[in-house]
């Protein structure tokens, strides 16, 4: 049996603390249910004394979530601990996590207490917590700037008073793997009763070293990592759960430890947290970023076709994604394009690769990324004329403001003839797409909308990408303009023209995306 590393998730406490607006009880419960499915060992559900809302959500989570240990945070103060104990009472397995600053800055500046006073606080609070709850965790906050001798005394005392988990936080994200390893090693060497507790780490990512610091601590004996989904947390965030878990799995040859996480739930959890917390994930974020399993270079794509292992250290399936994504651009080789066409349902003998690839490159040069619906359009078009847009947005006027109903007027040239319509909507973009719908008459549902600014400043060029569903399939449209509403309307028109082209080809289309 390999040594287990406990995964302590603090998305709902440290992560939530850093959001622009706090989450509702229901939102927290939805995240907690998914964390249960992910099989985290401990959920830090909140800081019960901080607000009535926090108290309520901790209690609801304690009542409804069965698998993981439900933990509440409290300062090393009697009232905090009592309120925390009350909040977690309904949980089958529960933990009180109590903390106090132990560094000179915290003792003198924040607490205005002597070393002895702080020891007395720790002694009393851990003892009280143990009386109220069998499972107690203690954190010396700002351990990194605490004197070694004093830290050893603190840890020994907390364990003696009954804390079964001692968490060593890098509260300000200042440590490095070498320093952190030395500190964890020092505790294992010098604290006589250290074998009576699980050593935990809580690292912040201010210098981008949270994952490295946490993993180094595991190599030096730590057996609990505190972390958050998508690396949410104060400032630059906490250690990202998905990173440490996949590192421990993929490099189990080095770490020789096991985790209880169901990694196939990682992607679903990441997406849920992204949506509920309204915190986007950068595309190049390890494990869960949009490009983490996307291959762009022609050489890499070719390698992936021949043997996946050439450029993939873990499979997308291992985190719950269906497949790696190949971004088709002008750098993609003809081999890759052909394999994508076959995946879309075309038979090899239907594909005139040389001719197709030439048209693909022309389009890729113009558009950047070529999507599946573009490939189908090229396949289905008989002549260059077929690829021309039947619908052209000639005029768009949108009026919106704080006290007016957003209204749009659009004029579209349809195969040479002008049509004009107006519509109201929930917002400017909604009004514009509704006006377009009235002229075009397709049933289109927008599923995803994203805006990227391509340049900086007031007159920045914005690129809007819309993914929409119609009865002929899923389509991706791109529009670029200095005006967001216009960029959105152009992206929508891109989709309209793609649907029109496919309707014209009158062929049952392979289902894509
Ligand atoms: Zn923290």
Phi, psi at 223, each rounded to 5°: -130, 15
**Percent of the chain with pLDDT strictly greater than 70:** 96
What's the 232 CA to ligand 1 centre distance in angstroms?
A: 10
314 CA to middle of ligand 1, Å?
A: 29
- Whether residue 94 is predicted with pLDDT greater than 90 in this model: the reply is yes
Dump pLDDT digits (tens) for 384-415: 667 778 899 999 999 988 888 999 999 999 98
Identify the H or E element spanning 412.
strand 404-414
Is the pLDDT at 297 greater than 90? The verdict is no
* CA 233 to ligand 1 centroid distance, Å: 7
- Predicted TM-score (pTM) of this structure: 0.75
Residue pLDDT, tens place only, 65-82: 999 999 999 999 999 999
Would you say 18 and 12 are in contact if contact means Cβ atoms under 8 Å apart? no
When mean pLDDT is compared across 13-27, 141-155, 471-485, the lowest value belongs to 471-485
- In angstroms, what is the span from residue 287 Cα to ligand 1's centroid? 22
Distance (Å) of CA 511 to CA 20, 342, 471: 39, 12, 11
* Distance from the alpha carbon of residue 14 to the mean position of ligand 1, in angstroms: 5
pLDDT value of position 382:
66
CA of 201 to the centre of ligand 1 (A): 10
- Quick check: helix, strand or coil at residue 348? helix
Give 412-456 pLDDT, tens digit per residue.
999 889 999 999 999 999 999 999 999 999 999 998 898 887 666
SS3 call for 436: helix
Residue 212 CA to ligand 1 centre (angstroms): 16
* Ligand 1 centroid distance, CA of 234 (Å): 6
Q: How far is the CA of 13 from the centre of ligand 1 (A)?
A: 9
Ligand 1 centroid from CA 412, angstroms: 54
Q: How far is the CA of 10 from the centre of ligand 1 (A)?
A: 8
Q: How far is CA 450 from CA 306, 429, 500, in A?
A: 33, 12, 23
The whole-number pLDDT of residue 87 equals 98
Q: What share of the chain is helix, strand, coil (3-state, %, to 5)?
A: 45, 20, 30
**C-alpha 269 – ligand 1 centre gap (Å):** 20
User: What is the pLDDT at residue 305?
Assistant: 79
Going from the C-alpha of 360 to that of each of 338, 341, 348, 437, 507, the distances in angstroms are: 11, 12, 17, 29, 21
Compute, in angstroms, the gap from residue 82 CA to the centroid of ligand 1.
22
**Banded pLDDT at 512 (limits 50, 70, 90):** very low
Q: How far is the CA of 238 from the centre of ligand 1 (A)?
A: 6
- 500 Cα–ligand 1 center, Å: 52
Reduced to 3 states (helix: H, G, I; strand: E, B; else coil), residue 446 is strand
CA-closest candidate to residue 208, choices 248, 247, 177: 177
Instruction: Locate 61 and state its tokens.
Output: 């989570």
Q: Quick check: 348 and 342 in contact, CB under 8 A? A: yes
Residue 214 alpha carbon to ligand 1 centre in Å: 13
- Centre of ligand 1 to C-alpha 68, Å, is 20
CA angle 479–385–346, rounded 5-degree value: 80
Radius of gyration of the chain (CA): 28
Q: Where are the beta strands (DSSP E) in 204-256?
A: 224-227
């Amino acid at each position: 049996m390999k040594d287990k590393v406990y995964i302590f998730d603090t998305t709902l406490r440290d992560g939530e603390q850093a959001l622009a607006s706090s989450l509702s009880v229901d939102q927290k419960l939805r995240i907690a249910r998914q964390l249960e499915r992910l099989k985290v060992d401990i959920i830090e559900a909140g800081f019960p004394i901080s607000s009535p809302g926090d108290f309520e959500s901790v209690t609801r989570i304690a009542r409804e979530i069965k698998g993981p240990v439900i933990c509440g945070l409290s300062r090393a103060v009697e009232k905090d601990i009592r309120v925390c104990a009350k909040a977690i009472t309904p949980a089958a397995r529960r933990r009180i996590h109590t903390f106090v600053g132990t560094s000179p800055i915290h003792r003198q500046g924040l607490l205005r207490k002597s070393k002895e006073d702080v020891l007395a606080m720790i002694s009393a609070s851990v003892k009280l917590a143990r009386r109220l709850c069998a499972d107690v965790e203690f954190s010396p906050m700002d351990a990194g700037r605490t004197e070694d001798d004093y830290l050893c005394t603190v840890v020994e005392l907390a364990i003696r008073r009954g804390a079964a988990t001692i968490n060593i936080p890098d509260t300000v994200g200042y440590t490095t793997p070498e320093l952190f390893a030395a500190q964890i090693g020092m505790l294992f060497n010098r604290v006589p009763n250290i074998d009576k507790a699980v050593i935990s780490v809580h690292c912040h990512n201010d210098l981008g070293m949270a994952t490295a610091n946490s993993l180094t601590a595991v190599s030096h004996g730590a057996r609990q990592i505190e972390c958050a989904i998508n690396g949410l947390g104060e400032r630059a965030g906490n250690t990202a759960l998905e990173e440490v878990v996949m590192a421990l799995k993929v490099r189990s040859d080095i770490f020789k430890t096991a985790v209880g996480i169901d990694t196939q739930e990682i992607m679903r959890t990441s997406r849920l947290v992204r949506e509920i917390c309204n915190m986007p994930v950068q595309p190049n974020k390890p494990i869960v970023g949009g490009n983490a399993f996307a291959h762009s270079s022609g050489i890499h794509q070719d390698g992936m076709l021949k043997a996946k292992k050439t450029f993939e250290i873990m499979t997308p399936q291992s985190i719950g994604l269906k497949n790696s994504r190949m971004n088709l651009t002008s750098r993609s080789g003809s081999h890759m394009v052909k394999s994508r066409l076959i995946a879309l349902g075309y038979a090899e003998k239907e594909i005139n690769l040389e001719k197709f690839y030439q048209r693909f490159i022309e389009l890729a040069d113009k558009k950047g990324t070529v999507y599946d619906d573009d490939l189908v359009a090229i396949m289905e078009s008989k002549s260059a004329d077929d690829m021309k847009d039947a619908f052209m947005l000639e005029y768009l006027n949108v009026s919106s403001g704080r006290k007016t109903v957003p209204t749009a007027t659009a004029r579209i040239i349809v195969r040479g003839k002008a049509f004009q319509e107006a519509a109201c909507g929930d917002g400017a973009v909604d009004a514009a797409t509704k006006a377009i719908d009235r002229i075009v008459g397709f049933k289109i549902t927008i599923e995803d909308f994203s805006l990227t600014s391509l340049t900086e400043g007031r007159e920045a060029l914005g690129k809007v990408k819309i993914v929409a569903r119609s009865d002929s399939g899923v389509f991706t449209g791109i529009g670029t303009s200095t005006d967001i509403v216009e960029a959105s309307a152009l992206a929508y028109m891109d989709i309209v023209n793609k649907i029109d082209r496919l309707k014209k080809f009158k062929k049952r289309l392979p289902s894509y995306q």
